[in-house]
Structure 1
Amino acid sequence: MGKTEATEPAPTAWGDAEGRRRDILASAEKLIEEAGYSALTMRAIAAGAGVSSGTVYQYFGGKEDVFVALTARRLEDIQATLSEVDVKIGVAGVLREILPQVVELWRRLGRSAPQWEAKVLAGGRRSKGVTTSATVYQHTLTALVKTLREAAEAHGQALIEDPALAHWVWDALIGVADDLLLGGSRQDRIRPERLIAFATEAVERSVVAPN
């Protein structure tokens, strides 16, 4: 039996605006993953998506807005998981459930975030896209705390009431994601699953109020 040849994905049909937008974002995400934020130009995005630069500008005002859309899409995926997860698995279980998505977000986009912030946020630009990104991020933190609270209650626990809690949990997850990507803990022969179990259980202990 002959080897099956890989088929190229069908080109987006003319007039499929949502499909065209997906093509543009896929092109941009590939550029960032391969060469970082500095490689993100409207011309390069257009070439990867198989469209003209003018078409890209019909969807996005600039590369900063493209980056914001990519980040928002990943955050919305995490929100969807939080809305569907079985809270009976507990606080640590919920964290383990979303960690793969956090790792994927950090792998594809996280390394470019500081450069983007320096160019856009510190530079004073406040586009609609930047505002949207901040809103989606805040909604993600709100959904995270809500789900963790429900998971704690399912086990007869309660979360500590502190406005810093959501940011601490998110930063902890980013730290674990960074270690998993760089393999830092593996230098000491710590298996990824052991690190994940230890980290998520430690976060649970830090956010659950004592009885």
Structure 2
Amino acid sequence: MAATTQRLRAAWGDAEGRRRDILASAERLLEESGYAALTMRAVASGAGVSSGTVYQYFGGKDDVFVALTARRLEQVQATLRDVEREIGIAAVLREILPQVTELWRKLGRSAPQWEAKVLASGRRSKGMATSASVYRETLRTLARTLHETAETCGQTLIDDPALPHWVWDALIGVADDLLLGGSRQGRVRAKRLIEFATEAIERSIVAPG
């Protein structure tokens, strides 16, 4: 633990580095033990700082949680904005699948808590509202990228507001299989699963004709 803490610790006065250390500690806790393990004391210990230092950056564990999910979703958005539309829908999905898989690896165990706190209706903190906005923007960016890619490739997508939600959930399902190795039990290689799944998603959202 001491070696890990030393490796993570940012230089004194490096506020951005200190914030990264805190988030890295929190992400490890979530990946290893889920949301219940995410305490400010545990986050501070993993980052090699005091609990008071963590509170200088985040108001509480929910704020840390929100920052982690937002950061991962923004990475997906960036890839979607930059990916070449000419490569086709299935290839676009393959471009973001590694990021979706890493998001699910790090935060998937805490998905029920995130959904309950961020996606559920009702009163939410400013941070939770921000995380919900980032999630909605991720789906909008996904929808926009898919439509632009389809148009570039001479295709038309099914006109349905559920489309980006279905695609996102399908990618999460593929990520879950890759992480748990379900398809490998049937002797299906990961590469083949990814190819089949992304091509199947493309077929499911392209309008016939």
Instruction: Provide the TM-score with structure 1 as the length reference.
Output: 0.91
Counterpart CA distance in 2 for 1:43 and 1:123 is: 30
Whole-Å Cα distance in 1 between the matches of residues 139 and 121 of structure 2? 25
- What secondary structure does 2:93 align onto? helix
Task: Give the corresponding residue for 1:28.
Answer: 26
| Residue 50 (structure 2) aligns with | 52
Counterpart of 1:187 in structure 2 is: 185
**CA distance 1:129–1:104, change in 2 (3 Å):** same
Contact 2:8 2:47 in 1 (8 A): no
Could you tell me whether the CA contact under 8 Å between 2:9 and 2:47 is conserved in 1?
no
CA distance in 2, matches of 1:169, 1:20: 36
The sequence identity of aligned pairs, in percent, is: 76
Report the alpha carbon displacement of residue 200 of structure 1 after superposing the two structures with TM.
0.6
Aligned residue pairs, count = 204
TM-score normalised by L of structure 2: 0.91
Structure with more of its chain in helix, by fraction: 2
How far does residue 11 in structure 1 lie from its aligned partner after superposition? 3.6
Identify the range of structure 1 (113-122 vs 38-47) with the bigger mean alpha-carbon deviation. Answer: 113-122
Alignment of 1:74-153 (within 5 A): 74-118=72-116, 126-153=124-151
Q: Secondary structure at the match of 1:109?
A: helix
Quote the Cα distance in structure 2 between the aligned partners of 1:121 and 1:110: 15
Check conservation: 2:9, 2:21, Cα contact below 8 A.
Answer: no
CA shift for structure 1 position 72: 0.5
Change (3 A) 1:125 1:35: farther
Inter-CA distance 117–169: structure 2 relative to 1 (3 Å threshold): closer
Contact 2:8 2:21 in 1 (8 A): no
Cα contact 1:78–1:101 (8 A) shared by 2: yes
SS in 1 for 2:13: coil
**Are the equivalent residues in 2 in contact too, given 1:68–1:129 (CA < 8 A)?**
yes
Letter of the aligned partner of 1:165 in structure 2? L
User: 1:170, CA displacement in angstroms?
Assistant: 0.3
SS in 2 for 1:15: coil
SS in 2 for 1:126: coil
| Alpha-carbon distance in 2 for matches of 1:161, 1:119 | 30
Superposition pairs of residues 11-26 of structure 1, within 5 angstroms: 11-26=9-24
Report the equivalent of 2:35.
37
In the alignment, structure 2 segments of 5+ residues that lack a partner are 1-5
Distance 2:121 2:142 in 1: 30
Deviations 1:80-127 (A, max 9, x none): 111111111100010000000000000110111113444677696611
Q: Aligned pair 1:157/2:155, yes or no?
A: yes
Q: Is the 8 A contact 1:64 1:120 kept in 2?
A: no
CA RMSD of the aligned region, Å? 1.8
Match of 1:3 in 2: none
**Which consecutive segments of 4 or more residues in structure 1 shift more than 6 A?**
119-123
Q: Corresponding residue for 2:164?
A: 166
Change (3 A) 1:161 1:178: same
CA distance in 2: counterparts of 1:139 and 1:120, whole angstroms:
14
CA pair 202-122 structure 1, distance change in 2 beyond 3 A: closer
Secondary structure in 2 aligned to 1:157?
coil
Q: Secondary structure at the match of 1:189?
A: coil
